[in-house]
Amino acid sequence: MLSIFLLFITFNENLSINLLIFNILLNIITLFPKSLIDS
């Protein structure tokens, strides 16, 4: 699934915007379990 998303980013014209969205998604994915563990 990740590779498909990366391919989508690569072929999309709005590369920087997609990288930003990807970064935000990655942060959410990594931060969410931490918040679950903390609580």
Task: Please tell me the predicted confidence (pLDDT) of residue 32.
Answer: 83
Give the position of tokens 């969205």: 21
Q: Decide: 6 and 15 in contact? Cβ < 8 Å.
A: no
- Distance CA(11)–CA(27), nearest Å, equals 23
Q: Decide: 38 and 28 in contact? Cβ < 8 Å.
A: no
HEC readout, the chain = CHHHHHHHHHHCCCHHHHHHHHHHHHHHHHHHHHHHHHC
Of residues 7 and 29, which shows the higher confidence score?
29
Q: What is the pLDDT of residues 22-36, one digit of tens each?
A: 899 998 888 887 777
